[in-house]
Chain A
Amino acid sequence: MNAIDGLSLGFSHAFSLGNLGWALLGCFLGTAVGVLPGIGPALTIALLLPITYQVSATGAFILFCGVFYGAMYGGSTTSILLNTPGESGSIITALEGAKMARNGRAGPALATSAVGSFVAGVVGTLGIAFLGPVVVDFALVLGPAEYFSLMLLCFVTVSAVLGGSPLRGLTSLFFGLSLGLVGIDLQTGQPRMTFGLPELFDGVNVVLVAVALFAVAEALHMAWNHVDGKVQVLPVGRLWLSRTDLKRSFWPWIRGAGLGFPFGVMPAGGTEMPTMLSYYAEKKLVAPEYAHEFGTTGAIEGVAGPEAANNAAAAGILVPMLTLGLPTSATAAIMLSAFQSYGIQPGPLLFQTQADLVWTLIASLFIANVMLVVLNLPLVGLWVKILKIPTPQLYAGILVFATIGTYGISNSVTDLLLLYGIGIIGMFMRRFDFPVAPVIIGMILGPMAEQALRQAMTISEGDWTTFVTRPGSLIILILAALALFGPRLYALATRRRRTAATASVDS
């Protein structure tokens, strides 16, 4: 099915009252959790996973995607008014946005980020609709060997390329892979890594790990060096884009969206890199008369561009998730486990066997974007009120949800012990700057990679060279090796050249 047919099919389903309701609920919840510091979309979707037992797959995924998009919108409000970015993608927005707010320009900052998010959301969703089927055609020819290599590439990019250090990123990934191994081996029925505890035979639940890392660890981390005091919410002022603001925002929106989407699509997922690149691009390209605003009073270009990049990248993440079944962010990984709980395997066949679901979901993303602009522009006052929930009650409340989300899995105190144990590990991970997203991704993707490996080995009758003799697989493996060692080698090469240069100067 091509994009146009797909979208018309999708919109015909998406406009049903039920689906509109799920989208609205998702957008509302998403904006709320995006605004609240300390909770994000991954945690929220994890807590909502039980809904998969009650609601049709289409409704549930519209809800989840609404949360996912909404959190991106809401995150910018917090960065601008509190100067505390809710998630990594909003760090750059906080840079200029909070400065604008401090100089009485919070209104235009909020407006440009909401409209920018909308522009980027529409561009990104169009990208999903048109690129998705193309990727699917390509993905249909991939065998288990290529899939396994693709997953290795994904592991490398999410852990070693993004973030501060490959060593720590890979450690997080391997921790996640270990957690994914716990339980009965599906192929042979042997219990693995269970320490002989029957409670662990079913494996470690992903909801539990997500709640531990995103709620318990976060609360513990905040308590570590907590200082009593009230947070300062900056006043919003008039929510309006003047003609000049609009003119100054327009190209940054477009450039940000164009920059963000490809980054999201590549298994190099994540939103830090495109937002940062967009920020530097806008700083370079800004009209000379406004250049002085960067870093001083806050430049609107520095909010518009990165915020658009953030949202377009978030949309892009859905492409590998829907077409290849490869999650490149913690949120996508949890959505993937929701697909699994419906017995649906995301991957190229999804577009064929579940065409209704996929296209209704994509159409709903457009609708969600419209809803989100409305929720975030005229209703911004509501979110500002949410921001004023005091920290003590906020964290206490988050832990109430964490408890019920985990205890509800099987009414077992063992689960709560595991929750707190992993939460304490997560606190130390925060403390020592280990990223947490690779844990979730490794946990979900690890078992899938093992299955692909075993299938590939069964097909090749135990011949390990299958991964390098099949050209597709070889190319992907080379890419993975480049992603892992490339930056190192490049740094080494430039250093050597520099030493050579200084040496020649010395002589």
Chain B
Amino acid sequence: MTSRLSWPDLVAGLVVLGFGLIGFWQASVIPVSPLYAQVGPKAIPYVVAAGLTALGIGLTISALRGGWSHENPEMAEAGPLNRRAMGLLLAGLLVNLVLIVPAGFSIAASAQFVLVAAAFGSRSMLRDLLIALPLTLLVWFLFVQGLGVNIGAGLLESFILRLMGQEPV
């Protein structure tokens, strides 16, 4: 067993510790209830924050003693960060976030589909787009008309609905 500190694990431990401290801060700003209660609204948040802080300290100590992630085969054998894949995937999520309000679900999700597929090594963006558009439309109709989920019709959905002779909502 090595006893050298593990930097990644140390960061993980400190992040958990940070979450605990944020928990304390948020628990302290809960307004005191005017209603009488045996256990007020602040008690459990303090307990949870204390627990998270203690666990963060525990993880930090464990990281200083050499950490744990080198024992995990999945992480020990993992290759380096694939910047291209990660970048494309995050770009896909971002595009979806930006487009979903102005353009609607199908267009935003199709753009995301193409970028995510490219992240995982797909080479034909055009083919992916041709898969994505019908798929996202199908999913939209499935959720909106099948499951009754309320998702406003975007540009593409309105167009299809008009083709079907329905008035988009």
Contact surface of A with B, Cβ cutoff 8 Å: 48, 50-51, 53-54, 164-165, 167-168, 170-171, 174-175, 177-178, 181, 185, 187-195, 216, 219-220, 222-229, 390-393, 395-397, 399-401, 403-405, 407-408, 411, 413, 416-417, 420, 428, 431-433, 446, 450, 453-454, 457-458, 461-462
* Alpha-carbon separation in the docked complex, A20 to B93 (Å): 39
* Contact in complex: B37, A188 (CB < 8 Å): yes
Interface string of B150-168 (1 = CB under 8 A from A): 1110000000000000000
In contact, B151 and A407 (Cβ under 8 angstroms):
yes
- Contact partners of B122 in chain A: CB under 8 A: 390, 392-393, 396
Given contacts A168-B59, A178-B19, A431-B75, contact A391 B121 (CB under 8 A): yes
Contact call A433/B68, Cβ cutoff below 8 A: yes
Chain B: minimal CB distance from A225 (Å) = 4
Q: Select from chain B the residue with minimum beta-carbon distance to A458.
A: B38
Nearest residue, chain B, Cβ from A196: B29
Return chain B residues, CB-CB under 8 Å to A229. Answer: 121
The answer to whether A453 and B44 touch across the interface, beta carbons within 8 angstroms, is: yes
Please give the distance in Å from A93's CB to the nearest CB on chain B. Answer: 18
CB-defined contacts of A417 to chain B, threshold 8 Å: 97
Q: Do B89 and A219 touch across chains, with their CB atoms under 8 A apart?
A: yes
B59-A224 in contact (CB<8A): no
- Whether the pair A403, B120 counts as a contact (CB closer than 8 A) is no
Within 8 Å CB of A413, what residues of B?
97, 100-101
Interface residues of B (CB under 8 A from A): 8-9, 12, 15-16, 19, 23, 26-27, 30-31, 33, 35, 37-41, 44-45, 48-49, 51-52, 55-56, 58-59, 62, 68-69, 72, 74-75, 78-82, 85-86, 88-89, 92-93, 96-97, 100-101, 105, 108-109, 112-114, 116-122, 128, 131-132, 135-136, 139-140, 143, 147-152
Is the beta-carbon distance between B26 and A225 smaller than 8 angstroms?
no
Q: How far is the CB of B89 from chain A (nearest CB, A)?
A: 5
Q: How far is the CB of A78 from chain B (nearest CB, A)?
A: 17
A226 adjacent to B120 (CB under 8 Å) = yes
Q: Please state if A403 and B23 are interface contacts (CB–CB under 8 Å).
A: no
B113 touching A400, Cβ below 8 Å: yes
10 contacts between A and B (CB under 8 A): A171-B16, A185-B41, A188-B35, A188-B41, A191-B31, A222-B120, A226-B85, A400-B109, A400-B132, A432-B8
Report chain A residues within 8 Å CB of B118: 392
Q: Tell me the bound Cα distance from A152 to B132 in angstroms.
A: 46
Task: Give the distance to chain B from A235, nearest Cβ to Cβ, in Å.
Answer: 24
Closest 5 pairs between A and B when the two form their complex, measured CB to CB: A228-B121, A392-B122, A392-B120, A188-B33, A408-B149
Whether A178 touches B23, Cβ cut-off 8 Å, given contacts A51-B147, A171-B52, A225-B82, is yes
Q: Are A428 and B100 in contact (CB under 8 A)?
A: no
B105 touches A403 (CB 8 A): yes
Which of B35, B37, B80 sits near A225, CB closer than 8 Å?
B80
SS class, residues of chain B in contact with chain A: helix
Total A-B residue contacts, Cβ distance less than 8 Å: 213
B44 touching A190, Cβ below 8 Å: no
B31 in contact with A190 (CB, 8 Å): yes
Residues of A close to B16: CB separation below 8 A: 171
Chain B CB within 10 Å, residue with most, of A54, A224, A413, A461: A224
Q: Please, which residue of chain A has its CB at the minimum distance from the CB of B31?
A: A190
> In the bound complex, how far is the Cα of B150 from the Cα of A395, in angstroms?
25
Please determine whether A401 and B139 come into contact, CB atoms closer than 8 angstroms: yes
A228 to B56, CA, bound (A): 37
Q: Choose one: A187, A191, A404, A462; the contact of B109 (CB below 8 Å).
A: A404
Residues of A within 8 A of B55 (CB): 167, 170-171, 174
- Least Cβ–Cβ distance between B12 and chain A, in angstroms: 5
A171 to chain B, nearest CB (A): 5
The closest CB in chain A to the CB of B74 belongs to: A433
**Residues A432 and B69 in contact, CB atoms below 8 Å apart:** yes
Residues of A near B82 (CB, < 8 A) are 223-227
Smallest Cβ-Cβ distance to A460: which chain B residue: B38
Q: Which residues on the A side are within 8 Å of B88 (C-beta)?
A: 223
Asked if B117 and A396 make an inter-chain contact with CB atoms under 8 angstroms apart, the answer reads yes
Q: Nearest chain B CB to A319's CB is how many angstroms away?
A: 28
Q: Which residue from A190, A193, A408 sits with its C-beta under 8 Å from B33?
A: A190
- Which residues of chain B come closer than 8 Å to A174, judged between CB atoms? 48, 51-52, 55
Closest A residue to B112 using CB positions:
A399
The CA-CA distance from A471 to B33 in the complex, in Å, is: 33
Chain A minimum-CB-distance residue to B148? A54
Closest A residue to B36 by beta carbon equals A188
**Contacts known (A225-B78, A408-B150); A187 close to B112, Cβ less than 8 A:** no
**Chain B contacts of A220 at CB under 8 A?**
86, 89
State in angstroms the CA–CA spacing of A446 and B9 once bound together.
27
Cβ 8 A contact of A192, one of B45, B51, B100? B45
CB of B9 to closest CB in A, whole Å = 7
| Cβ–Cβ < 8 Å partners of B9 in chain A | 432
In the complex, which residue of chain B has the Cβ closest to the Cβ of A416?
A: B97
- Give chain A residues whose Cβ lies under 8 Å from the Cβ of B143: 50, 404-405, 408
Instruction: Look across to chain A and name the residue whose beta carbon is closest to the beta carbon of B110.
Output: A400
By beta carbon, the residue of chain B nearest A454 is B39
Query: Nearest Cβ in chain B — how far from A393, in angstroms?
Result: 6
Evaluate whether A399 and B45 lie within 8 angstroms (CB atoms) in the complex, with A413-B97, A432-B12, A462-B38 already known.
Answer: no
Contact call B113/A396, Cβ cutoff below 8 A? yes
Q: Closest Cβ of chain B: how far from A473's Cβ, in Å?
A: 16
> What's the nearest-Cβ distance from chain B to residue A18, in Å?
16
- Flag if B97 contacts A420 (CB, 8 Å): yes
Q: Which residues of B contact A227 (CB under 8 A)?
A: 79, 82
User: Does A223 contact B100, Cβ atoms closer than 8 Å?
Assistant: no
User: Is the pair A450, B121 in contact by a Cβ cutoff of 8 Å?
Assistant: no
- Is A192's CB under 8 angstroms from B120's CB? no
Beta-carbon nearest neighbor of A51 in chain B: B147
Query: Closest A-chain residue to B101, C-beta based?
Result: A413
Q: A51-B147, A225-B81 are in contact. Are A193 and B120 (CB under 8 A)?
A: no
